[in-house]
């Protein structure tokens, strides 16, 4: 019965259902995504340069903490007519105590992998088989990635493999 809010933690079934709800709310119509990390990555790739990451849905870690806080509240409300209710420990379920006050734990995971910060994003006009000469990735000796207009797709772009520049220097 832990799936119905009667355990110490929300069950995996509850967490998966909440994550599916998040994806259903934010996912574009033609895509079927069921995990928050996949949804966030997909939407991140679609961001325009003037948009900030605040337009993205929460990370899996942030969503999990929100589910845990909601679980505490639902557990309390479900016992509204119980004489001696069992109150879950908020400090174990998405809350932290600081200066005598309860504050939400926003996430225990990083908002993005460190590698994402290293990615380059170009808006070159990829033709049928290759990126144009205006490709900033190619100009900087970088391969195109999923963030580029060509999506780093080997079928659409020939700039997906390292060029090998500097390899001779390493061998010497």
Q: Does residue 102 sit in helix, strand or coil?
A: strand
Least confident of 14-18, 95-99, 141-145: 141-145
Mean pLDDT to the nearest integer, 28-53:
79
Does 27 or 71 have the greater pLDDT score? 71
Specify the pLDDT at position 162. 62
Which 8-state DSSP code applies to residue 151?
T
pTM to 2 decimals? 0.60
Pair 39, 23: CB distance under 8 Å = yes
Locate the domains of the chain by residue range: 2-111, 119-163
Least confident of 53-57, 87-91, 95-99: 53-57
Pair 16, 24: CB distance under 8 Å = no
Specify the pLDDT at position 4. 47
**Short-list 92, 98, 96, CA closest to 75:** 92
**pLDDT band at residue 77 using 50, 70 and 90 as cut-offs:** very high
Q: DSSP H helical segments within 27-149, as ranges?
A: 36-46, 60-77, 136-139
Report the C-alpha gap between 136 and 134 in whole angstroms.
Answer: 6
Share of the chain above pLDDT 90, in %: 23
Residue recorded with tokens 């970088």: 142
Report the C-alpha gap between 132 and 92 in whole angstroms.
Answer: 53
């Amino acid at each position: 019965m832990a799936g119905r809010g009667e355990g110490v933690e929300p069950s995996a079934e509850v967490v998966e259902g909440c994550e599916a709800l998040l994806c259903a709310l934010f996912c574009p119509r033609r895509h079927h995504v069921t995990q928050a990390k996949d949804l966030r990555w997909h939407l991140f790739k679609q961001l325009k340069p003037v948009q900030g990451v605040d337009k993205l849905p929460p990370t899996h870690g942030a969503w999990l903490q929100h589910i845990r806080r909601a679980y505490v509240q639902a557990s309390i409300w479900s016992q509204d007519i119980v004489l001696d209710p069992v109150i879950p420990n908020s400090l174990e379920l998405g809350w932290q105590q600081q200066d005598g006050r309860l504050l939400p734990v926003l996430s225990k995971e990083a908002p993005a992998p460190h590698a994402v910060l290293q990615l380059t994003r170009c808006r070159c006009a990829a033709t049928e088989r290759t990126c144009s000469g205006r490709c900033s990735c190619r100009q900087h000796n970088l391969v195109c990635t999923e963030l580029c207009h060509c999506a780093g797709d080997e079928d659409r772009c020939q700039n997906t493999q390292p060029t090998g520049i500097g390899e001779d220097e390493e061998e010497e």
